A = this chain, B = another copy of it.
Amino acid sequence: MHHKGSSHIARSAPPVWRNELPKIVNHDQRRLELVDATWRIIAQHGIEGATMREIAAEAGFANGALKPYFPTKDSLITFAFGHVFNRTNQRIAERTAGKVGIEALHGFCQEVLPLDEDRINEARIVIPFWQKALTDATKTELHESSMHQWRAGLQVHLRQARSRGEVTVPIKDEDIINQLMCILLGAQIIAAMSPGEHLPAQLNAQLDAYLLLLDPAHAIESR
């Protein structure tokens, strides 16, 4: 009935109850494989096409093989969304490590903007997530915590940029952060809806132009 894998942390220690139990597959790794298949299905056929059967087939299994790892569909989807968020946040952390001010802001945004196929797919997955979060309380929490995390990160970098004189514009930090959040989320929609029309170069130019706006003195000089 119960499966032996923990929900998040791989317990490699063998159970001491009775003698050795052979444990063939790593449950947590399998979960990641399934999430990866889910990710592929959603990116390709949208969330409507992400049925348990489709996901199982994409992962190379039959209908009921998912249950020991995700007892319900909702648990799978929630886990998948969380995983995409975590991956994005990890990329952000790596990219901004050791950077400060405008450079950190720039790196942060570049890791969210849909500049390559992977991140365009992420955007295609995030949109169904927003839709789900609109009606599901637990997913709303996940979403809000992520958004607050991003805002906090942007806030730190923005303060540093201000103290370094890289941002001189007389606008409240709150408004700048809101603008940045909107630009990031809006770009995800635009690029997810019509990729090909909005190439990486355009998104980059748009971001650079905005960051340049934050130091008008410099912007005027560079005219």
Residues of A within 8 A of B (CB): 45-49, 124, 127-128, 130-131, 133-135, 140, 143-144, 147, 169-172, 174-176, 178-179, 181-187, 189-190, 192-194, 198, 202-203, 205-206, 209-210, 212-214, 216-217, 219-220, 222-223
By beta carbon, the residue of chain B nearest A222 is: B170
Residue pair B131, A172 in contact (C-beta under 8 Å): no
- Secondary structure class of chain A's binding surface, majority of residues: helix
Task: State whether B189 touches A130 (Cβ < 8 A).
Answer: yes
Q: Is the CB of B147 within 8 A of A194?
A: yes
Nearest-CB residue, chain B, relative to A126? B189
A222: chain B residues at CB < 8 Å are 170
Given A143-B193, A187-B182, A194-B144, also A209-B171 (CB < 8 A): yes
Other-chain contact of A219, B45, B169, B175 (Cβ < 8 Å) = B169
In the complex, are the beta carbons of A135 and B49 less than 8 A apart? Answer: yes
The answer on a CB contact under 8 Å between A190 and B185 is yes
Q: Complex: how many Å from CA A190 to CA B174?
A: 14
24 CB contacts below 8 A, A to B, read A46-B131, A47-B131, A127-B130, A127-B134, A130-B192, A130-B193, A131-B131, A140-B193, A147-B193, A169-B213, A170-B219, A170-B220, A170-B222, A172-B209, A175-B202, A175-B209, A178-B190, A182-B187, A183-B186, A184-B186, A185-B186, A213-B216, A216-B216, A216-B219
